[in-house]
Structure 1
Amino acid sequence: MDSPFLAGLLGFGLAGIATLSFAEKFLPVLPSYVLFVLFGLATVQDAADLGGTVAASTLGSVLGAIGWYAVGRIAGKRRCEDLVGRFGKYVLLRPELYRRLMAAYERHHFRVTLVGQTIPTARIYLALPAGVTGLPFAPFVLATTLGTLAWNAPLITTGYLLRDTGWSPAATGIAVGASLLGAEALVILLVTRIQRLRRRPCPAPP
């Protein structure tokens, strides 16, 4: 682990893990699939530590999402659009991505929130349009927590299982991230194919 900053925060144990997980929602400098694998590699000593690390990272991530949700609720639709247009590029939130996230909330709010926490880019900023559209707070937090667990736990566990293999956090995280992105692309391809088949008109009977 080359970063003194990361090493210093991880030295605070579960509090440091929660802080880094919270910060990752606002400063996506280190991809989450690297950061959480790093937690498993560097902080989990045995199976007993695994649950606490997953819980601390989930708490930090959910609090970060609540922060974005609060920004959306307070700023409102027009002001958020202006802020994203002016400053979004500095936090990797392009206006096009923001509009797609807003459009995703036209229906299936709970499912979008839950699944969105397992999509690398969307998981950081999805809470902002959730706040703008005024999603009920309790279901938002529940869906965010479940989705965050589904994302954090496998990555941290992967790091823990690979801690004695000699893999670096970056190499492990990139391999895991590439696998996740490949699986995501395959799912999108299959869903698109199924939708096209459903829209294809049935042949007329002879």
Structure 2
Amino acid sequence: MPSPELTSTVSATVAYLLSFGLAGAGCLAAMERFAPLLPSYILLMFLGLAVPDSTTLALTIGVTTFGSLIGGLGWFVIGWALGPERARAVVARYGKYILLKIPLYDRLTDAYRRHHFWVTLSGQIIPAARLYLPLPAGVLRLDPRIFLAATTLGCLIWNAPFVYLGYSLRSGGRDPIQTGFWASIALLALEGAILLLLRYRKKASS
């Protein structure tokens, strides 16, 4: 569980960047790809809670999609520059600090050996994979055009519903802070239930 100091720092950083409006929202979406201190769906929902009208809603979805794309492109460039051996060595040494361990890295890399576009697209809507999938894509030096197209579409599919959820909760006339808190609890519980189900199915099939 994050310490109170870390929680306070994260809250202050989010509030500060949001003071810059749409530019801040885009920066938060990009930063989330490198420092996942908050689950992305919670961050996106809270960004939606700050949206005042439908026009700003569309713009917020657009800038967060662009921010997520920039963050993913950053990992892609890092992987391209490091190459297979150095990238795996870096992950083995430092990956634990950003929740990227060797078994996960190897699974992501293996997935890219088939259907590059669909792996990139579907990977953007899988919580554990979406952050770091661009790294092995860069390591394998996939076609940047395919990567950019699939990542953009995947980020849009992932970001839009959660931003809209936050906007819908705000426009419902309820207290946004209390509503956001309980919605976050519900989303975390849902994710936990899905992970437990997947773990159970994996054990049952082994």
> After the TM superposition, which segments of 4 or more aligned residues of structure 1 sit over 6 Å from their partners?
183-190
**Is contact 1:111-1:143 (8 Å) kept?**
yes
Gaps in structure 1 of 5+ consecutive residues: 191-195, 197-206
- 1:136 and 2:137 equivalent? no
**Map 1:38-57 → 2, pairs under 5 A:** 38-41=46-49, 43-57=50-64
- TM-score, normalisation: structure 1: 0.85
- Partners of 2:180 and 2:32 in 1: how far apart? 16
**Structure 1 residues 182, 147: closer, same or farther in 2, change over 3 A?**
farther
- 1:106 and 2:90 equivalent? no
- Partners of 1:67 and 1:89 in 2: how far apart? 19
Deviation at 1:98, TM superposition (A): 0.3
- Partners of 2:100 and 2:198 in 1: how far apart? 24
Q: Please identify, of 159-168 and 70-79, the stretch whose mean Cα deviation from structure 2 is larger.
A: 159-168
**Larger Cα-atom Rg:** 1
**Structure 1 residues 81, 61: closer, same or farther in 2, change over 3 A?**
same
- TM-score, normalisation: structure 2: 0.85
**Map 1:34-183 → 2, pairs under 5 A:** 34-41=42-49, 43-163=50-170, 164-166=173-175, 167-179=178-190
Gaps in structure 2 of 5+ consecutive residues: 1-6
What is the DSSP-based 3-state SS (H/G/I as helix, E as strand, rest coil) of the residue aligned with 2:147? helix
**Is contact 1:21-1:57 (8 Å) kept?**
yes
Structure with more of its chain in helix, by fraction: 2
- Show the counterpart of 2:30: 22
- Cα RMSD for the two superposed structures: 2.4
Deviation at 1:4, TM superposition (A): 2.1
**Structure 1 residues 119, 170: closer, same or farther in 2, change over 3 A?**
farther
